[in-house]
Amino acid sequence: MNDNIKPQQCKVVNALDTLLGKWKPIILQHLLAEGTLRFNELRKRMPNITQRMLTLHLRELEEQDLINRVVYPQVPPKVEYSLTEYGKTIEPLMEALHQWGKSHLQHIENVKKSDLTKDEGNKEASIH
């Protein structure tokens, strides 16, 4: 729609869009960590998610070819979710996000502390 926007940006936004949704990163982390999980196993690992949201987000991840959905035609139903081979390529990205998120928390802590000791808040440029 707009060429003023650097190509770079679009792709970053795109990455974020496909990884987002309140629960997607968490679902992906669980599948990364544990391989294959059934619907209810995932649910137990995310006590605050509703069935609806779990279903919706799993469908979206499947559509992005990030996860496999395997239905065992039996009763009671059994459905297993796992990362696709392609889906596993997000691991380094998740790791990078994790590292940055971790150090960011640390950084914000430090900033708050030094705000208490040091007189801060004079960010106006001086005019000479």
Partner DNA sequence: CTGGATCCTTCACGATACTG
Partner DNA sequence: CAGTATCGTGAAGGATCCAG
Footprint of a second copy (CB under 8 A): 1-2, 4-6, 8-16, 18-20, 25-26, 29-30, 33, 44-48, 64-65, 68-74, 80, 86, 89-90, 92-94, 96-105, 107-108, 111, 123-125, 127
- Residue 45 CA from chain centroid, whole number: 16
When CB distances are held under 5 to 8 angstroms depending on the partner's kind, the choice from DNA, a second copy, none that residue 93 binds is a second copy
Question: Is the CA virtual torsion 61, 85, 82, 24 positive or negative?
Answer: negative
User: How many Cβ atoms from other residues are within 10 Å of residue 45's Cβ?
Assistant: 15
Instruction: Tell me how long the chain is.
Output: 128
Q: Of 17 and 56, which has the nearer Cβ to a second copy?
A: 17
Q: Which residues pair with 67 in a beta bridge?
A: 83
Q: Is 15 in the site for DNA (CB under 7 A)?
A: no
Q: Within its chain, how far is the Cα of 1 from the centroid?
A: 27
Angle (CA) 49 104 25, round 5°: 25
Which partner in DNA, a second copy, none is near 50 (CB below 5 to 8 A by kind)?
Answer: DNA
Q: Does 40 bind DNA (CB under 7 A)?
A: yes
Minimum separation from the CB atom of position 117 to a second copy (A):
16
